[in-house]
Chains A and B, each alone.
Chain A
């Protein structure tokens, strides 16, 4: 019974979301990978908001087959309660007529089982995709890293040709995703390599981290009040995103 209800709900939300996306045509930024999604998502959202764009990002764990549509439609989850789901189903329908839909959707895509990415990308078509890490996390439901890799490969392939793929050059599997993409590819990481956004040096301070970013022979200094290398990577992914927004022929609105 539960499975039956969940399946109906899943497809109902999917098609309502597709209608909403077809009407409003927002620019979709997809963020995926085994880790660091949340920090990159927050960074991208912050950048867009600073630029005066209207943005909607998925909250916390709303990054799966049910959560993603709810995040796009901006409605809450009923979690485990049949009763709580009833008004939400109604709200989902009325979301078709919502005004002031944001220009950008910044969406984390969660992959924990084979086929998850294919399903999520049957709902959205990302213009820009960012992948930071592919590692053993969430490997339980896959028969090996190669199968997990196929999920991210699908995202690389499905990112719009007119869009861009932002990849962490330091992770060999992530780096290799470029081979499957028809979109513009930009890299970031600590590896010394011409053309990439290279994190040259990190300095931990009492109140945060200072780091230097090299790109095309220019070095710039940045600061984040957060600690940990993952936050440096998140800020750097944001810098690449800013670069793409400024220098390519994007129609933002």
Chain B
């Protein structure tokens, strides 16, 4: 019984949220949810679609043609050329796209390499697909960057893909062009797929240039499966809509799984996604500006707790991943799994009523860290840190 699910676990982030909900005055910096409401242009697009009565039926399995056409145009602006008819699939959020991709490209027992710390659900999806996640640690000393030698060492005949999140959740790292090209060389050498989850690509605090993607390189189009979600960039986490793209030889296989899993992405959300691409670019810029302010605020507040935390300043996303450098806390009253970061997170919740995510949830290198989300308002961030400063005194 439950052979397929016995090794799965509920996301630690959700577990923390559940636990936190028992504290009436809790401030949560745990879940990665934007504090903003969905932009009004998107809502208006949905209202119009509802009025026209076009949302009640299934769309084509890969998604509404109009939406995919808009996605092709948007991708071309970013130097990525994909055919909307055969190479783009609208998915029910990026996690469904990831699931469909893994089911399509792997066989049971295959290994998937994931640089860690990274998004908690990757491990679960890989396990669900009957594959084995192989964690390769990122180098915190070098700003959570890749070390290609470690990847090469991790590759075995069973390796099918390298699966990374860029910008990375929870570290907020943007991988450089050189690092990514190095990864591409490895993938070519060992005939691997590269799965690139780019849901935070619209948030770049340094503002130098847009985030480079391996999907821009034509020679890699059969190897790189790129995923995007509307959840973060357009404050649409509840809509569950995203997309993936790759060469048609791969997407047509993924499409079969996508069709079996969900038939199509929710049509009402697809109209929302059209509104996002047509009208919400100004909102994305506004969100980016706000997250930049919040990033600076949360870093300033962390600087005041230098004896407790050290951290790498995030370049993107809305997370910071500080290391807990002070170890002598009294966790005797805390019932938590045998992990320092878990104990610390539970202790913080009880003592300060501040919810954070224990770093170990993001992979072995995440131990001794916590993830703080600055998707929350500045007031929430300040209140959470006021409380933390009090208990650390």
Contacts and interface: CB of A to CB of B under 8 A. Distances in A.
Interface of A: 35, 38-39, 60-61, 77, 79-81, 112, 137, 140-141, 206-208, 225-231
Contacts of B40: 79-81
B41 A228 contact: no
Contacts of B70: 60
A230 B278 contact: no
B83 interface: yes
B101 to A, nearest CB: 19
10 contacts: A38-B73, A39-B73, A60-B70, A79-B41, A80-B41, A140-B54, A206-B219, A208-B81, A227-B83, A228-B87
Contacts of B41: 79-80
Nearest to A76: B282
Given A38-B73, A228-B86, A230-B85, A140 B279 contact: no
Contacts of A225: 81, 218
Interface residues of B, number: 27
A222 B328 CA distance: 70
Contacts of A81: 40
Interface string B74-106: 001000011111110000000000000000000
B221 interface: yes
A207 B218 CA distance: 5
Shortest 8 CB-CB contacts between residues of A and residues of B:
A228-B83, A207-B218, A227-B83, A61-B278, A80-B44, A79-B41, A80-B40, A226-B81
Contacts, number: 56
A176 to B, nearest CB: 23
Nearest to B218: A207
Interface string B130-173: 00000000000000000000000000000000000000000000
Given A80-B44, A207-B218, A141 B52 contact: yes
Interface of B: 40-41, 43-44, 52-54, 65-66, 69-70, 72-73, 76, 81-87, 218-219, 221, 277-279
Contacts of B69: 35, 38
B279 A79 contact: yes
Q: Is the interface of A mostly helix, strand, loop or mixed?
A: loop
Nearest to A60: B278
A70 B226 CA distance: 35
A208 B221 CA distance: 11
A228 B85 contact: yes
Contacts of A228: 72, 83-87
Contacts of B52: 112, 140-141
Nearest to A34: B65
A225 B278 CA distance: 24
A230 to B, nearest CB: 7
Given A60-B277, A227-B83, 11 more contacts: A38-B73, A61-B278, A80-B44, A81-B40, A112-B52, A206-B218, A226-B76, A226-B83, A227-B81, A228-B83, A230-B84
A117 to B, nearest CB: 18
A45 B54 CA distance: 32
Contacts of B277: 60
Nearest to A230: B85
B279 A137 contact: no
A37 B86 CA distance: 18
Contact of B221 (A39, A61, A77, A206): A206
Given A79-B44, A206-B218, A140 B86 contact: no
A244 B69 CA distance: 28
Given A61-B278, A80-B40, A80-B41, A207 B219 contact: yes
